[in-house]
Structures are given as C-alpha cells and as structure tokens.
Chain A
Amino acid sequence: MDPQLLPSGVIFGLSIGSIYFTMAIGLSLCFGLMRIISLDQLLYYSLGGYITYSFGVVTGSVWLGMVGGTMVAAVVALAVERLVFRRIYEREITFSMITSFGVLIGGIGVIQFFWGVVPRPVAVPMMTQLNVLGTEVPVYRLVVIGVAALVYAGIWVFLNRTITGKAIRAGIENVEHVEGLGINVSRLFTLTFVIAGALSGLAGGLHAPLIMVYPQMGLEVLAFVFMVVIIGGLGSIKGTLVSALIVGQVVSLGSLVYAPLAQMAPFAAMLLILLVRPTGLFGSALLKR
C-alpha cells in the first residue's frame, strides 16, 4: 500500500463512517426504546437520496435538496409509524423485522415507479480540494464528517440535557416505569422513530453525491449499517459512534490493501469483536429486558 494514500484513505473512511453513524444512531435508539428492528430506515435513506437528487435538479442546490430529503424522510417515517409500527410494538422483535422489510421492499417499488430503475447522478455540492498532509482531499468529505459530528453532539445534548431525552434514556431501561410516572410513552416512540427517519434521510442525502441514487441503494448499505449497530452494542450512542468509525476505516483502509477487502474485512472485524464482547463494544447486559 502506498503510504501517500493513507491520509486520504483515513478521511475517506471517516466520511463513510460518518454516514453509517448518522443512520445507525436512529436504528440503535429505535431498538433500545421500542425493541424494534426498523429495516424501513433504509427506505428513508433512499428517499433522502432521491429527494436530494430531485430538489437539487429543481432548485439548483444540492444542499437544499438534502434539507428537503431530511424533511420528507421524517414525514414518511411519521406516517409509517402511525400506520404500521403503532400496531406491532407489542409483538416479537422478529415481527417488526419482517414487517419493516415489507415496507422497505414496497417503498423501493414506489421509488422505481416515480424515478425508474436507472441510477441518477447527484452533483457534488462543492468541488474544492484541500491539502491534508500532502494529499488532496475533497472538502465535501470533510463536510460530511462535520455534519455527523453535529448530529452526534445534537443527539447527545438531546438525550442528556432535555427532559424528553432523559425520558427516552429511562425508557431504554424500562418503558413501564416511565409510563408509571405519568409519561406518555407512545409519544416518545413516535418522536424517536421520526428522529431516526430524519437522520436516515439526511444520511441518504449526504451519501448521494458520493455514490449515485438508485432504487436498491438502501439494500447496499444495510449490512454495513447493521454491523455498526451490532458492533457498537444495541442502544448505545457512544458505541455506535466508535463502531461507525471502526467500520468506516476497515472499509476504506481494507480496500487500499486489497480491493475485495472492503466488502469482507468489516464482517471479519465484526466476528472478532463479537467473539470477545458478545454484547458489542458498549452494549450492556442491562438491555436484556
């Protein structure tokens, strides 16, 4: 491996990890609080990408497109929560997995109906390059990393400094006790789901200029995002961050060493970590409710 490629490889990995993190954080919260596996988040990710594309074409600003993508994803997530998840929170986890997979597949069909099957390119909103340790790095990737850092800070402040966030943390431990204090838990569920949907949409919007939008784009990242959630430890915010950073680097640096490693190495890393820590890096036995 050429050492000249290392700085850009690290930044490439950080930006990929940032996108995985932005998605995985919502999935992790949804699992922690509602005990659901919400595969439909991958649909909001794809929608975020497509809306970014279309708004970008219409308004001429990909940034505006990302804002729109985030908002549309939040609205669709709200509708799905009301119409679908409301009815199945009480059921087994596997039930949510199957149902949400149905929503995802159905949603992909809707995307194909509106946008067709041909991949669409999304313009990178800023073409500037920055010199980092002797290599040119696209500034857009740094922006992606910055956005993810803001998401982390925002979620941290929300969960630790607002009463609603504290109720969500409490609910991750014990929903019934939260309810017993007079707190409407189903509102917390809706809020958490919509936040997750919005973040998925944002992740899709941020990712769109780096890939191309296509109907199955959600399925492509599915494995990686779930890997991040599992390595981090279900329901842990800090764990999700650390594991997103690890997975991002493994994908990026792995591909520098030997291209097919980008696909394989993260799975190997996950298996290794789970062998040592079966609950993930920051997962606690606490969550075995």
Chain B
Amino acid sequence: MTASDAILNVSDLNVAYGESKVLFGVGLRVAPSAIVACVGRNGAGKTTLLKSIAGFVKPRSGTVSFGGTDLVGRASYDIAKLGVKYVPQDKKVFSDLTVRENLELGSYSTQDYDWERVYGYFPKLRQLLDRKAGYLSGGERQMLMIGRAILGRPQVLLVDEPTEGLAPSIVTHLKDVFRDLSSSTALVIVEQNLPLVCAISSKVYALKEGHIVAELSRGESITVDACERYL
C-alpha cells in the first residue's frame, strides 16, 4: 500500500507528557474501510496514540495526514468535524443528560439526524431514549458512545478499548457492528481482546513501550499467538 492509498497516515509521531516520552517515531497507515487494530500492554501508549491523532494531545513532532490534510496542530473539535472521531476508553457518557440528548450532541456539528442508522446498529437505544444516560449499563453506555460518534458519518473512527469490562454477548454484538461499519468508515481499534482483534482486523500494530514493534497483515499472520509474541 502506498501512502496515497491511506485515508489516515501517521508518521514519525513523537509524543511526551512533560519530560516523559511516551511515543517514539510511531507510524501507521489506515486504508479506507479497513479495520486496523493496535495492541499493547497497559501503559504502552495506545490511548496516547489515539488522542494524538484526535488532537487531544499535541505531539512533539511527526505528521498525521487525513486524506491529505495535516491534523497536527488542529483543535480536537475541528478534527472531529473533519471526520475523525475518537471514542474514549472511559465509557463516560453525559450521565445527567438523556440518551436522546446525548445523541443530539453527536449531531451538533454535522446536523446529521440519521438516528435510524444508529438504531439499526443498536436497536436497544431506541427504547432507552428518555432515560438518563447515567442509569445505563456498561454495555448500553458503549452503544451510546459509538452511536453518538457515528452520527455525521465519520470517515475514521478511533475506538479505545471498546469491549473492556463488557459481557460476552455485547462483545459479539460490537464485533458485528465494527465489521458492518467498516464498509463506510475506517476503524482504528485499540483492544486487549486478541481473539476479537484477530477476527476482524485487516492489520494489527503491536505497540510496546511507545514503539511499534510489529505490523501484522491479513493473509500473513494475524493470529492470537502472533499478537502475543509482541506484547
């Protein structure tokens, strides 16, 4: 794959929090409608990588190119508006707002009220519309976070440990959702659940102490064993 095929092209990214360096020359390429996974131990820098792409963390150096636009230095709301959306790891919905209001905010900047599409993926949200999001279960919160993020049809969705702490049935559901979403949206998924990663990804990057130590591609060796070797 050449650089121009990629919708998202990260290269030589260096990120530090104050004096402590977290990412070292990280690069990754994401093709349109690909599912790219990033695996690594706790503290490897996975969240930092996604946040740097989404503009929440300012990199020391490096480039993040999205369809030819450089994202480095742009405000995070601007990056989200351009079509690169980040679904955070913490599963914090706006708990004092209803599910409906949470979804409305997902449509804020793009005026995309295609909620039917969201219900298509997550039928349960329709029944929960008037409930305060604070009362949702962990799985329902994750559905809401992803549902909210796909309004406006982002071209790239950065999803941070979506299945962490969720019941197996919901994990299976999310797997199907990601597969289906990838026909229109490129996905970058940070995930510890290796069987899930291997089932859906077309490419896997292994991140170790801030360095990309392996890049596994479909057809070659995306297996749980192969992934584990690099953790």
Q: Mark A157-189, 1 if CB is under 8 A from B, else 0.
A: 000000100110110111011111111110000
Q: What CA separation (Å) do A48 and B108 show in the bound complex?
A: 34
19 chain-A/chain-B pairs, Cβ below 8 angstroms: A166-B101, A166-B105, A169-B101, A170-B94, A170-B105, A173-B97, A179-B56, A179-B77, A180-B77, A180-B85, A181-B80, A181-B106, A181-B108, A181-B109, A181-B149, A182-B77, A182-B78, A185-B77, A286-B96
Asked whether B41 is an interface residue with its Cβ less than 8 Å from the other chain, the reply is no
Q: What is the count of residue pairs linking A and B with beta-carbon distances less than 8 angstroms?
A: 73
Q: Are A169 and B96 in contact (CB under 8 A)?
A: yes
Q: Are B94 and A184 in contact (CB under 8 A)?
A: no
Asked whether B95 is an interface residue with its Cβ less than 8 Å from the other chain, the reply is yes
Q: What CA separation (Å) do A169 and B102 show in the bound complex?
A: 11
Q: What CA separation (Å) do A170 and B78 show in the bound complex?
A: 18
Residues 64-119 of B at the A interface (beta carbon under 8 Å): 75-78, 80-81, 85-86, 88, 92, 94-97, 101-102, 104-106, 108-110
* CB < 8 Å neighbour of B105 from A172, A178, A184, A286: A178
Q: Are B92 and A181 in contact (CB under 8 A)?
A: no
Q: Are A177 and B76 in contact (CB under 8 A)?
A: no
* A163 partner residues in chain B, CB cutoff 8 A: 104-105, 108
Q: How far is the CB of B56 from chain A (nearest CB, A)?
A: 6
Q: Are A182 and B94 in contact (CB under 8 A)?
A: no
A interface residues, tally (CB under 8 Å)? 19
Q: How far is the CB of B58 from chain A (nearest CB, A)?
A: 12
Q: Are B152 and A182 in contact (CB under 8 A)?
A: yes
Q: What CA separation (Å) do A216 and B152 show in the bound complex?
A: 51
Q: Are A177 and B110 in contact (CB under 8 A)?
A: no
Q: Are A180 and B54 in contact (CB under 8 A)?
A: yes
* B78 partner residues in chain A, CB cutoff 8 A: 182
Q: What CA separation (Å) do A246 and B92 show in the bound complex?
A: 34
Q: How far is the CB of A59 from chain B (nearest CB, A)?
A: 41
Q: What CA separation (Å) do A128 and B207 show in the bound complex?
A: 76
Q: Are A179 and B97 in contact (CB under 8 A)?
A: no
* CB < 8 Å neighbour of A182 from B80, B95, B96, B102: B80
Which 9 A/B pairs are nearest by Cβ-Cβ distance? A182-B109, A182-B80, A182-B81, A170-B94, A179-B77, A179-B76, A184-B77, A173-B94, A183-B108
* A170 partner residues in chain B, CB cutoff 8 A: 94, 97, 101-102, 105
In the complex, the chain B residue whose C-beta lies closest to that of A170 is: B94
Q: Are B80 and A179 in contact (CB under 8 A)?
A: yes
Interface centre among A167, A174, A181 (most CB of B within 10 A): A181
Q: How far is the CB of B64 from chain A (nearest CB, A)?
A: 16
Q: What residues make up the interface of A, taking CB atoms closer than 8 Å to B?
A: 163, 166-167, 169-170, 172-174, 176-185, 286
Q: Are A180 and B86 in contact (CB under 8 A)?
A: yes
* A166 partner residues in chain B, CB cutoff 8 A: 97, 101, 104-105
In the complex, the chain B residue whose C-beta lies closest to that of A187 is: B77
* CB < 8 Å neighbour of A181 from B75, B96, B148: B148
* CB < 8 Å neighbour of A180 from B80, B96, B104, B152: B80
Q: Are B88 and A167 in contact (CB under 8 A)?
A: no
* B108 partner residues in chain A, CB cutoff 8 A: 163, 167, 181-183
Residues 120-163 of B at the A interface (beta carbon under 8 Å): 148-149, 152
Q: Are A181 and B105 in contact (CB under 8 A)?
A: yes
Q: What CA separation (Å) do A177 and B141 show in the bound complex?
A: 14
Given A180-B56, A180-B80, are A286 and B95 neighbors across the interface (CB < 8 Å)?
A: yes
Q: What CA separation (Å) do A185 and B105 show in the bound complex?
A: 12
In the complex, the chain A residue whose C-beta lies closest to that of B102 is: A170
19 additional A-B pairs beyond A170-B97, A182-B77, A182-B108, beta carbons within 8 Å, are: A166-B97, A166-B101, A166-B104, A170-B105, A172-B96, A174-B92, A176-B76, A176-B88, A177-B88, A180-B56, A180-B88, A181-B77, A181-B80, A181-B148, A182-B81, A182-B110, A183-B77, A185-B77, A286-B95
In the complex, the chain A residue whose C-beta lies closest to that of B81 is: A182
Q: What CA separation (Å) do A185 and B109 show in the bound complex?
A: 12
Q: What CA separation (Å) do A173 and B81 show in the bound complex?
A: 21
In the complex, the chain B residue whose C-beta lies closest to that of A176 is: B56
In the complex, the chain A residue whose C-beta lies closest to that of B93 is: A177
Given A166-B104, A180-B86, are A173 and B76 neighbors across the interface (CB < 8 Å)?
A: no
* A174 partner residues in chain B, CB cutoff 8 A: 92, 94
Q: Are B109 and A183 in contact (CB under 8 A)?
A: yes
Q: How far is the CB of A272 from chain B (nearest CB, A)?
A: 27
* A172 partner residues in chain B, CB cutoff 8 A: 96
Q: How far is the CB of B199 from chain A (nearest CB, A)?
A: 27
Q: What CA separation (Å) do A172 and B94 show in the bound complex?
A: 9
